[in-house]
Amino acid sequence: MSEKSDKNGEGDHMVLKMLTGSQAVAWAARLARAEYIPAYPITPQTEIIEILSEWVRKGEMEAIFVQMESEHSLLTAAGTAAATGARVFTATSSQGLLYGFEMLYSIAGWRAPLVLVNVARALAAPITLEPDHNDVLAARDSGFLQFHAESVQEALDFVLLAYRVAEDNRVLLPAIVNIDGFHLSFTRERVDLPEQSTVDEFLPEYKPVNPIRASEPVAKGIPVLIPPLYSFFKYQMHMASRNALNVFREAAKDFEKMFFRSYATVEEYMLDDADTVIVMSNSFAAVGKQAVNAMREEGRKVGLLRIRLFRPFPTDDIVKSLRGKKCVVVVDQNISIGKGGITCPEIAEALYHLEDRPKVILPVIAGLGGKSISLEEFRHAVRVAERLASLKAGPDGPLLLFREDEAMLVDSLLKIASGG
């Protein structure tokens, strides 16, 4: 395998390429020497498995590629293969993730590390193909680690980091790397493609704990009808996931030495002197940064905090970044119906006990179903938060903002739908 795959590296230096998010994560799976790839097509994920199946067919990648009959089978195959000690890569999206949902909890409970790329797409109904994060956040409590990528480069790098953290025996949990459909999956960006030998060094062979072998039977995820045992194992998973924070930090240090890109659990953008901080994740954070730039030019002290690692939740780093700030605007690209955004309460809980906690935490819902977020919306949200701070008041509930032309578009489409 190493001979063949060493072709990937093309010499001793890094290779700059223009890759889509799909190509980038496929490259990451190849460079990680994933051995088993169960697959099932779904828009906008299919390109990833098409690329991988082509490489496997041509013998450029030494892996077993299996087309399954559903995402439930896909995840079952992925988890059981990981439990035998194979390095497993798979990918799905949206409805597919939900169709296999039951198995997410099982795989995490088996403590079987693998990497699953979720290509974010909003959930039906009504149906769309554009992204938001209700799909990946539905898996929030499953035990999967969650890496949320802003760029194509991060998508690639996070797959490598995810294997390293997931397979660490202080963690032993599966991981999801989230990339936004279309905005990352089908968009070409400049990518430093790591060379194979450096990836091999960064990512040593996976050494499974108690792997299933024909000659040495082991039962995984055993029935524990005695309630204390069940709570015990669940809490062990939780603590293993908390360990992943430091394991990630260690891995990121090595990663930086080898690949010259540094990753903290969160990214701070113009935070130092900021009064108001916008919190975001994933690819739309780029437009958040653009809005920060624009508001900075207007003389507003605004910054942005981007969450890269969503599970385990990097509470300490978030506290470091947000304590002492005046306002926090949490832009959730998801909606928990009947509550609001999913991230906002987690941020609020992280800050609650601080003396110097922000005066206002404003929940904003934006980018649902891939709706663009305009500069005007960011500016409006920041103004609302700052006004609430000066009034010493709290928000009523999450804001959902439209530009006027979007509201008019919705109105005209509703007219057509009603035949009026």
Q: Which residues bind to another protein, rule: CB under 8 A?
A: 109-111, 169-170, 172, 209-210, 217-222, 224, 226, 231-233, 235-236, 239-240, 243
Three-state DSSP class for 193? Answer: strand
Q: Please, which residue, 230 or 409, has the CB nearer to another protein?
A: 230
| Distance in Å, CB of 204 to another protein, minimum | 18
Q: Spell out the residues 6+ positions from residue 101 whose beta carbon is closer than 8 angstroms to its own.
A: 138, 139
In 29-159, at which residue ranges do the beta strands (DSSP E only) sit?
36-39, 64-67, 89-92, 115-120, 145-148
| Distance in Å, CB of 351 to another protein, minimum | 25
| Distance in Å, CB of 143 to another protein, minimum | 12
Closest CA to 11 of 193, 175, 167: 193
Structure tokens at 125: 């109904």
Q: Please, which residue, 160 or 166, has the CB nearer to another protein?
A: 166
Closest CA to 333 of 136, 127, 151: 136
The Cα–Cα gap between 302 and 293 comes to 8
Q: Please, which residue, 67 or 169, has the CB nearer to another protein?
A: 169
| Distance in Å, CB of 230 to another protein, minimum | 9
C-alpha dihedral sign at 31, 33, 34, 36: positive
| Distance in Å, CB of 147 to another protein, minimum | 23
Query: Residue with structure tokens 């006990």?
Result: 353
| Distance in Å, CB of 82 to another protein, minimum | 13
From residue 281, alpha-carbon distances to 64, 73, 120, 277 in Å are 33, 30, 12, 13
Three-state DSSP class for 341? Answer: coil
Structure tokens at 236: 């062990």
For 20, other C-beta atoms within 10 Å of its C-beta total 22
CB of 67 closer than 8 Å to CB of 40: yes
